[in-house]
Structure 1
Amino acid sequence: MSKFVSLKKNSDFKSVYSKGVSAANRYLVLYKLPSRGMERRFGFSISKKVGKAVCRNRLRRILKEICRLNLARFSDRCDYVFIVRQAAADQNYHQMEKQVWHVLGKLSK
């Protein structure tokens, strides 16, 4: 099983946004782009509009943990970027997990 790898470069994020496919709900937008690498990579974008730094970092940690624990549910050789919307500010782990599976299911259709 491959390890959890994060997207870091701005150019990687831009290519996922411009060339990838997306799905959204009230809480999240998920972009997916097949990549040349052997592993799946994850990026997280949370605007300052969502809340203060404590709230944004909590949401980022929740999403990272959901992805880390469920790597098998994400396709190999793909880049994923999660954009968190303002409505997600008060969501807990289980609610966010449900939203992740919802948007991931929309992408697989």
Structure 2
Amino acid sequence: MKYSLQKKLIVKENSDFQKIYRCGRSLANKNMVMYYCKAFHPSHKVAFAAGKKLGNAVTRNRVKRLLREVYRLHRREIKDDYCLLLVGRAAAVDLKSTALEKSFYSLCKRANILKKEVEKK
């Protein structure tokens, strides 16, 4: 089975970003901030962000690429009725993907958005 992140799952519209910011709850650790809310689309969607404080465009794009990859690997473990916004923090600039994966997984666990069969592992 090929695991790819379909473009239709990624939030592109600014209004959708704002909906997730406004109606969503947030959790954070030193590597990322995760906003989550019940889906306002028929299926769940995800957005990725990295602010200018992280560095130049190359650095910000690397952080967003890492966030996309971490989400892609774990999206089947997340409940289908949630929209997510993942925001990279300065500590994520120098991280490897495995450390970012652990951060993402811990935030998902705290937010209680993992499917039941995954939580039992």
Same fold (TM over 0.5): yes
Distance in 1 of aligned mates of 2:41 and 2:81 = 6
Residue 68 of structure 1 pairs with residue 72 of structure 2: yes
Asked whether the 8 Å contact 2:67–2:88 carries over to 1, the reply is no
Higher relative CO (CA 8 A, sep ≥ 6), structure 1 or 2?
1
Residue 10 of structure 1 pairs with residue 35 of structure 2: no
Asked whether the 8 Å contact 2:30–2:91 carries over to 1, the reply is yes
Unaligned regions of 5+ residues in structure 1, if any? none
Residue 24 of structure 1 pairs with residue 32 of structure 2: no
Unaligned regions of 5+ residues in structure 2, if any? 114-121
Larger Rg: 2
2:58 corresponds, among 30, 54, 59, to: 54
Structure that is richer in strand per residue: 1
- How many residue pairs are counted as aligned between the two chains? 108
Structure 2 residue aligned with 1:33: 37
Q: CA RMSD in A?
A: 1.8
Distance 1:107 1:54, change over 3 A: same
Misfit runs of 4+, over 6 Å: none
Say which is worse superposed, 66-75 or 14-23, in terms of deviation. Answer: 66-75
Asked whether the 8 Å contact 1:24–1:30 carries over to 2, the reply is yes
Distance in 2 of aligned mates of 1:51 and 1:39 = 33
Distance in 1 of aligned mates of 2:74 and 2:27 = 19
Distance in 2 of aligned mates of 1:102 and 1:41 = 20
By how many angstroms is 1:103 displaced? Answer: 1.2
What TM-score do the two structures reach when normalised by structure 1? 0.89
Distance in 1 of aligned mates of 2:76 and 2:47 = 17
Structure 1 residue aligned with 2:100: 96
